[in-house]
């Protein structure tokens, strides 16, 4: 399906929300997130991630429909665990849904989903999606308790929130990397796939990509920002190269 098809390759999913943010800032039809997604796929991405927020601040319903039609690789629909979003996902049939916490006032997704606190309501929504043939990834903090709860309610994948890792430096960052490494190992033992996302940049992706259990990265803000300087195709190729280099080096 994609050029990242060797057994050790890591999947790169580009989050194209901020192309829609720029479009919506002027109320124009451009730049088009669907066209951006096509460029990303042609430049080495394995999938596209888009977050349909309750307030539709960037991606809109029509974008979701068109992404489903145009994306040849994996289409990962990020959304809150609400009845409205579950109905949209079941109608659209993305390749995977990532459930995230959502607060109207936040700038971006802050923190992971509280799977333990989500209880029976969250479990029911995961079950509805899985019954409809849509696998579910849960965006959680790198916490063993949240991971075990995710496995217990039928998630196919977890995506560990790397925002804290991205914000730290030095010894504190090394400690957070160890915490992420240890939950990644446990995730594989539990039979789930491992994704990472949030705050990932060209500067910090290498150490995360060396974790052997990681199957996929979801990268948005920094990559779309880098595209201003490198072009969108150039930015995707740079991240693709950084992932492949980290996985192929023994260092
Ligand atoms: N993964 C999830 C679940 C997210 O909510 C986001 C932010 O939309 C990302 C990855 C991408 O994070 P960033 O934009 O910081 O690269």
- Determine, yes or no, domain membership for 220: yes
In this prediction, residue 102 carries a pLDDT of 87
Residue 63 CA to ligand 1 center (angstroms) comes to 18
Q: Which residues line ligand 1 (CB under 6 A)?
A: 15, 17, 51, 78, 98, 100, 108-109, 139, 159, 197-200, 218-222
- Determine, yes or no, domain membership for 34: yes
Residue 200 CA to ligand 1 center (angstroms) comes to 8
Rounded to 10 degrees, the C-alpha dihedral 158/164/167/172 comes to: -120
Pocket test for ligand 1, best of 14, 74, 94, 108 (most atoms within 8 A of CB): 108
CB 140 within 8 A of CB 160: yes
Query: What value does the mean pLDDT of the chain take?
Result: 94
* pLDDT of residue 4 exceeding 80: no
pTM of the predicted protein model: 0.94
Catalytic residues: 51, 78, 198
- Determine, yes or no, domain membership for 1: no
User: Which ligand 1 atom lies nearest to the CA of residue 195?
Assistant: 1
CB atoms within 10 A of CB 140: 26
CATH number at residue 92: 3.20.20.70
- Determine, yes or no, domain membership for 30: yes
Q: What is the pLDDT of residues 128-164, one digit of tens each?
A: 999 999 999 999 999 999 999 999 999 999 999 999 9
CB burial readout 77-107, b (16+ within 10 A) else e: bbbbbeeebbebbbebebebbbbbbbeeeee
| Residues facing 97 on adjacent strands | 77, 136
Cβ partners under 8 Å of residue 151, min gap 6: 190, 191, 192
Q: What is the mean predicted confidence (pLDDT) over 10-39?
A: 97
Tell me 193's DSSP state.
E
Q: Percent of the chain, pLDDT > 90?
A: 90
Q: What is the mean predicted confidence (pLDDT) over 216-243?
A: 98
- Determine, yes or no, domain membership for 73: yes
Please tell me the total count of domains within the chain: 1
User: Which ligand 1 atom lies nearest to the CA of residue 218?
Assistant: 10
CB 147 within 8 A of CB 178: no
User: Which ligand 1 atom lies nearest to the CA of residue 100?
Assistant: 3
In this prediction, residue 104 carries a pLDDT of 66
Query: CA 225, CA 221: separation in Å to the nearest integer?
Result: 6
Query: Rounded to the nearest 5°, which phi and psi values hold at 33?
Result: -65, -25
Residue 209 CA to ligand 1 center (angstroms) comes to 16
CB 141 within 8 A of CB 150: no
* pLDDT of residue 107 exceeding 80: no
Locate the DSSP E strands across the chain.
11-15, 47-51, 74-79, 96-99, 136-140, 157-161, 193-197, 214-219
Structural domain harbouring 245: 11-249
- Determine, yes or no, domain membership for 6: no
In this prediction, residue 174 carries a pLDDT of 97
Q: What is the pLDDT of residues 46-75, one digit of tens each?
A: 999 999 999 999 999 999 999 999 998 999
In this prediction, residue 2 carries a pLDDT of 42
Pocket test for ligand 1, best of 11, 13, 14, 15 (most atoms within 8 A of CB): 15
Q: Percent of the chain, pLDDT > 70?
A: 94
- Determine, yes or no, domain membership for 3: no
């Amino acid at each position: 399906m994609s050029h990242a098809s060797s057994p050790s390759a890591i999947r790169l999913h580009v989050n194209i929300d901020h192309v829609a943010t720029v479009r919506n800032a002027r109320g124009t039809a451009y730049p088009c997130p669907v066209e951006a997604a096509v460029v990303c796929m042609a430049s080495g991405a394995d999938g596209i991630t888009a977050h349909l927020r309750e307030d539709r601040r960037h991606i809109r319903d029509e974008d979701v429909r068109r992404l489903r039609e145009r994306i040849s690789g994996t289409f990962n629909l990020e959304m809150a665990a609400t009845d409205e979003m579950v109905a949209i996902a079941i109608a659209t049939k993305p390749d995977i849904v990532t459930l995230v916490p959502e607060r109207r006032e936040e700038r971006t997704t802050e923190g992971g989903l509280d799977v333990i606190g989500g209880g029976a309501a969250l479990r029911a929504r995961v079950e509805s999606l899985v019954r409809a043939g849509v696998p579910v990834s849960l965006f959680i903090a790198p916490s063993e308790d949240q991971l075990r709860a995710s496995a217990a309610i039928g998630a196919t994948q977890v995506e560990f929130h790397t925002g804290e890792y991205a914000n730290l430096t030095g010894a504190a960052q090394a400690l957070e990397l160890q915490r992420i490494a240890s939950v990644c190992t446990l995730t594989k033992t539990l039979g789930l796939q491992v994704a990472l996302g949030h705050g990932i940049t060209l500067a910090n992706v290498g150490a995360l990509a060396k974790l052997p259990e990681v199957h996929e990265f979801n990268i948005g803000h920094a990559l779309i920002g880098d595209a201003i300087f490198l072009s969108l195709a150039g930015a995707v190729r740079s991240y693709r190269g950084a992932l492949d280099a980290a996985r192929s080096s023994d260092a």
